[in-house]
Chains A and B, each alone.
Chain A
Amino acid sequence: MESQPSQERNEQPTKEVPHVLVMKPPPLLTLFEDKFISTKFQLLKAWESTLPLHQFLTTHAGSVRAVLCSGASPITPHIIQLLPSLQLVVTASAGINHIDLNECRRLGIAVTNAAGVFSDDAADAAVGLLIDVLRKISSADRFVRHGLWPATGDYPLGSKLGDKRVGIVGLGSIGSAVAKRLEAFGCTVLYNSRKPKPWAPYPFYSNVHELAVDSDALIVCCGLTAETRHMINRQVMVALGKQGIIVNVARGAIIDEKEMVECLVHGEIGGAGLDVFENEPSVPKQLLELDNVVLSPHRAVFTPEGFMAACDLVVANLEAFFEDEPLLSPLIDE
């Protein structure tokens, strides 16, 4: 793109500002729409049209080079096929399981995500859920609010965090932020990852089952892929043991949810802190009756600070793309 000399800045640009397709608005956009106002691009809002999506795309999106997506608007091979000019997929999340990466790679379509900006909040939520389950914070708060303290007396004892061995599943940006925090509580940190991380001072386990055998708690922080789907299965949970705690701030489908519910109901594991579920917003009814679980409606990263940083990153990636500059957070093939 040519840069405009300063005297011409006030004139209308002769080229139309390029479109960024949005099929369904990510929470980021719904909450902070004014952060997406740019001189370098404009949003093409498919959801505002009365046309069905397929028709909208064939009618209006033929020359669209970039799309902003999220979990609610997956980038499938079918969608990609309807966008012949597509060169960039920008997702407003850290997770990328809703994007067909193979297809994007095959067609040379670049992908950026919002990795890094959500790590602190996700890690904070994970640690918060772990402490809550071990120390029974939410259930004791319920006990007090129902006026039971005067009648019933002392609340049942929880379990000490500091001497726990905590296995982190996936030592990426979020997992390593969790590890750093847990070290300050005196926990022993262990981990499983696709490959050992040379910088990590924690013992590496090549598979999740072995990690579970050696851990008192598992914190799921990895991405959802074909390999990690239902990776936390019954065998892993039984290995974790009757006092074992699972915390999930990643994706519901990494855990075999049906098996987890069975394990919780029958006391095969000790408790769970869950921010994500296989079929949100649906949550298995049996969980709603358990006192040893803490449930959260997929808001581990929902803070204004995190969202604003994500907005900045998404907009910066889009502007860089349209200026032919390097992308700020492209996915790197590992």
Chain B
Amino acid sequence: MESIGVLLACPMNSYLEQQLDKRFKLYRFWTVPDKSSFLASHKDSIQAVVGNAAAGADAELIEALPKLEIVASFSVGLDKIDLTKCKEKGIRVTNTPDVLTEDVADLAIGLMLAVLRKLCESDRYVRSGKWKRGDYVLTTKFTGKKVGIIGLGRIGMAIAKRAEAFSCPISYYSRTEKPEIKYKYYPSVVELAAHCDILVVACPLTKETHHIINREVINAMGPKGVLINIGRGPHVDEPELVSALVERRLGGAGLDVFENEPYVPEELFGLDNVVLLPHVGSGTVETRQAMADLVIGNLEAHFQKKPLLTPVV
């Protein structure tokens, strides 16, 4: 398979890169000085694209690669891939579901605890050397808080299971109600927001869920509400969120994703009621290895004409 051309969209994992290099003819897209001339000269050699949450295969790239057979994403999210175009052209698409579910859910709970119990702020305070006796600051209890989940897929369910161990009542919004699920369903995000203390975004990013957290939802959450986003930055109307946080119209936020990564609105840097993470939802050694193995496994299966491991299209 060393002659098969694989285009790696951006740097994502050195183990993955190493494995791709060993097995295929690897092209590192970000090292190319002129992308369009590179594509023009290599269009007949590239049969696979490996993307992730930051960069994938949009319509333009797909059109430029007539020999493209498969797009393997190093993520579970598919928002950077033009699925319609892939379907049209018979291009296979794979992602990395299940292996990262637990890490993302763990991080969601970690963010809830960090925001409510002010863990990062406490750490900053102690490191400043300013801790003195008699400095009492109360934080917000997490146990028993109402958790509302947008999107009750694998990740949403894993978050619910963990939050239940903290006696948190669970409610959710999803496109359709799930009658077999015992959690309370709300038919709109605004209603869900109005009835929970902590709102978590755990759904895929699509045209419909773009800016699903908007001014109306933020208003419904209120000055004690806390937003946790482990989905995609564009799920949230970021300027609205920033002004709500700065003006204390919203109680707090734990954010792993942003509309324009790696750029994070600087107005958030001085706030003590937010926790800001650089898109580390699946960022553990164990999980990234499992994700890389899935990408390699899917590519090998495809080129060996075997069934794909985790096909989407």
On A, residues with C-beta under 8 Å from B are 27, 30-31, 72, 120-121, 123-125, 127-129, 131-132, 134-138, 140-145, 147, 149-150, 153-155, 157-163, 180-181, 183-186, 280-281, 283, 288, 294-297, 299, 302-307
Contact = CB atoms under 8 A, between A and B. Distances in A.
A185 B162 contact: yes
Contacts of A127: 109, 113
A132 B120 CA distance: 9
Interface string B153-170: 000000001101111000
A145 B124 CA distance: 12
B276 A144 contact: yes
B135 A297 contact: yes
B33 interface: no
Contacts of A294: 119, 123
B81 to A, nearest CB: 21
8 residue pairs, one from A and one from B, having the closest CB atoms: A128-B113, A184-B165, A131-B110, A120-B143, A295-B126, A303-B141, A149-B262, A296-B122
Nearest to A143: B278
Given A141-B277, A281-B133, A297-B122, A124 B166 contact: yes
Given A128-B110, A150-B263, A181-B166, A281 B286 contact: no
B141 A283 contact: no
Contact of A145 (B125, B142, B276): B276
B278 A144 contact: yes
Given A153-B11, A302-B137, A138 B123 contact: yes
Given A128-B113, A141-B275, A186 B102 contact: yes
Contacts of A135: 106-107, 110, 280, 283-284
A322 to B, nearest CB: 28
A297 B114 contact: no
A149 B264 contact: yes
B9 to A, nearest CB: 14
B283 A157 contact: yes
27 contacts: A123-B143, A124-B142, A125-B119, A128-B114, A128-B119, A132-B114, A132-B119, A135-B107, A137-B111, A137-B277, A141-B120, A141-B277, A143-B278, A149-B264, A155-B277, A155-B278, A161-B102, A161-B106, A162-B106, A181-B166, A183-B165, A184-B165, A281-B135, A283-B126, A296-B126, A302-B138, A303-B141
B132 A281 contact: yes
Given A288-B126, A302-B136, A303-B138, 10 more contacts: A120-B166, A135-B107, A149-B261, A149-B263, A157-B280, A161-B103, A181-B165, A185-B162, A280-B131, A297-B126
B109 A131 contact: yes
A122 B5 CA distance: 54
Nearest to A181: B165
B138 A307 contact: yes
Contacts of A31: 136, 138
B235 interface: no
Contacts, number: 186
How many B residues touch the partner, as a band? 35 or more
Contacts of B141: 120-121, 124, 303-306
A281 B139 contact: no
A145 to B, nearest CB: 5
Nearest to A136: B280
B131 A283 contact: yes
B140 interface: yes
Contacts of B1: none
Contacts of A305: 141
A131 B107 CA distance: 8
Contact of A132 (B110, B127, B135, B142): B110
Interface in B205-257: none
B139 A299 contact: yes
A158 B120 CA distance: 16
B286 A184 contact: no
A134 B141 CA distance: 22
Contacts of B140: 303-304
Interface in B160-185: 161-162, 164-167
Contacts of B117: 124-125, 128, 303
Contacts of B126: 283, 288, 295-297
A232 B109 CA distance: 28
Contacts of B11: 153-154
Contacts of B166: 120, 124, 181
A84 to B, nearest CB: 31
A154 B284 contact: no
Contact of B102 (A125, A162, A299): A162
Contacts of B288: 157
A122 B12 CA distance: 38
B310 interface: no
Nearest to A179: B165
Contacts of A296: 119, 122-123, 126
B102 A160 contact: yes
Contacts of B106: 131, 135, 160-162, 185
A297 B125 contact: yes
A159 B276 CA distance: 19
B133 to A, nearest CB: 6
Contacts of B262: 149-150, 153
Contacts of A180: 165
B110 A184 contact: no
A145 B139 contact: no
Contacts of A123: 143
Contacts of A162: 102-103, 106
Given A131-B109, A150-B263, A297-B122, A137 B286 contact: no
B287 interface: yes
A281 B110 CA distance: 26
A295 B143 CA distance: 21
Contacts of A160: 102-103, 106, 284-287
